[in-house]
Amino acid sequence: MGKTVSKLSKEDLRSLRSATYFDKRELQQWYKGFLRDCPSGQLSEEEFAKVFKQFFPFGDPVEYCHYLFRVFDVDNSKYIDFKEFIIALSITSRGTMDQKMNWSFKLYDHRKTGKITYNDMLEVVAATYKMIGPMVSLPDDEKTPDARTTKFFTLLDKNPETDTINLDEFKRLSKLDPSIANSINAYEGLV
């Protein structure tokens, strides 16, 4: 799927239909739009951040996009192709809660170790705060990235200095703090 072709092949359509929650028509529409915005068929991290900037004009999404881009770029090619894009979009917008949690875990596990350290989480939370800027009012116990990250570790009875969070614990965390599930479901039904 690395070649730029104006239309998805039957084989690609079949493969993407089984890998996503999109039907044939939706896949063709998304592909057409993807090629319109990325004529080369590849989306760079810089282009990805430009798109995000449109949705967060009062903040700076560049750092957050770096982490998000790494989750989209499954093959580590430094580009997002249509297949990577549409599968990520399918999971985040229409996937099951379990699929969304697995995907979200990868965002925080940006070193790809299978566990999230306090600093791993703090980096992504700080990038998120930088992206949303001053437009969102946060609860007192989440006013800073450090406070929010500490809150998450505390909810799991974890020591931020020595402990890590694995996938199962991350899933449990979403049950302990509804804001996590709410943010993961933010794109539900949008596409």
Q: Which residue ranges form the domains of the chain, and what is each CATH number?
A: 23-189 (1.10.238.10)
Whether the per-residue pLDDT at 182 is higher than 80: the answer is no
Tell me the C-alpha distance between 96 and 172, whole Å.
16
> 3: which residues sit within 8 A by CB, 6+ positions away?
41
Comparing 188 with 90, the larger pLDDT belongs to 90
pLDDT at 186 (0 to 100) = 64
Whether the per-residue pLDDT at 119 is higher than 90: the answer is yes
Where does the pLDDT of residue 188 fall: very low under 50, low under 70, confident under 90, or very high at 90 and above? low
pLDDT digits (tens, 9 = 90+) for 123-137: 999 999 999 888 788
Rounded average pLDDT over 138-167: 95
Where does the pLDDT of residue 40 fall: very low under 50, low under 70, confident under 90, or very high at 90 and above? very high
Comparing 41 with 51, the larger pLDDT belongs to 41
Q: Is 78 left (phi over 0), alpha (psi -120 to 50) or beta?
A: left
Q: Is 125 left (phi over 0), alpha (psi -120 to 50) or beta?
A: alpha
Whether the per-residue pLDDT at 184 is higher than 90: the answer is no
Where does the pLDDT of residue 120 fall: very low under 50, low under 70, confident under 90, or very high at 90 and above? very high
Give the three-class secondary structure for 52: helix
Rounded average pLDDT over 7-25: 96
pLDDT digits (tens, 9 = 90+) for 58-114: 899 999 999 999 999 999 999 999 999 999 999 999 999 999 999 999 999 999 999
Tell me the C-alpha distance between 12 and 156, whole Å.
42
Question: Which of 109, 82, 76, 101 has the alpha carbon at shortest distance from 13?
Answer: 82
Question: Which of 93, 84, 99 has the alpha carbon at shortest distance from 1?
Answer: 84
Q: Longest C-alpha distance within the chain, in Å?
A: 53
Tell me the C-alpha distance between 177 and 100, whole Å.
16
pLDDT at 109 (0 to 100) = 97
